[in-house]
Amino acid sequence: MSTMERLSASVEYKKIAARESAEWFVGISRHGIVAAERTAKGPRARATFRSVMSQTAGSILIGLGVSLFVHSQLGVPAYDVMLTALRDRFDITLGQASWLFTGVLFLVATILGRRPRISGLVYMLANGLAVDLWMPLIRDPEAMTARVLFVLLGTTAIASGVALVVNAGLTGGAIELLSKAAEDRGVDPFKARRALELWIVVGGVLLGGDIGVATAVFVLTMSPILKAGQQALIDHRAGRDARLSAAS
């Protein structure tokens, strides 16, 4: 097989892999999307400095995005509907509510035989801390235009943060572990993850969580935005490989 034939086969393989990955890249919450994409790609064997920094930067952006949603007063991302309900009921911060709820999910996963890794615990702590750090730095906008802009900026920030977390390749998120626990028991992990996400949102609504038009915007746009970004990255890498091969 010639160099160009090998290159063509490599590019085609990457496109097929991207399509297969995109089938998994579906979720209604940031944690569900991360779990779905890691299922497709597989976690890295060990943490590196770059992966840790990528996950940290992603957590900071996610914290910024969630804070923008909260201050928009138009609704919060799907996972945070439950967190706002717990925040109001227990009179704690949103970050603390994140630690509480995700900690409970980790406990359930551990009971079911899937123990969280250090990276998963760090991700949980970093998310909550980032939200609580950003919240007092942002003020509620009065104009509707500014509130809509907050939602758009928040969606972009969360999408960028999720992309960085996925790029880190570290495993151990709560929804990811619960999906694997379901798979251990013969349940389709995709269906288990989707059911868990829906349960979290519905439970949050019943408990009085903040839900609004921005929640629907997040659910409808997050996966397509990430799919488009992922495909652009795949195409960029394929083009780069073609240029390097042609030059050699």
Percent of the chain with pLDDT over 90: 46
Segments of the chain assigned E as strands: none
The pTM of the full predicted model, rounded to 2 decimals, is 0.79
Number of domains in the chain: 1
119 occurs within a structural domain: yes
Q: Is residue 12 part of a domain?
A: no
- The predicted-structure confidence for 189-220, as pLDDT tens digits, reads as follows 888 888 899 999 999 999 999 999 999 999 88
Establish if 153 belongs to a structural domain.
yes
Q: What is the pLDDT of residue 125?
A: 93
Identify whether 246 is part of a domain. no
- Least Cα distance to 72 among 210, 200, 208 occurs for 210
Residues 111-149: tens digit of each pLDDT: 999 999 888 888 899 999 999 999 999 999 999 999 999
Residue 167, domain member (yes or no): yes
Residue 15 lies in a domain: no
Residue 59 covered by a domain = yes
Asked whether residue 32 is domain-assigned, the answer is no
- Write out the residue range of the structural domain in which residue 88 sits: 42-240
Question: Given a cut of 60, is residue 25 above it in pLDDT?
Answer: no
Give the per-residue pLDDT at 46.
Answer: 58
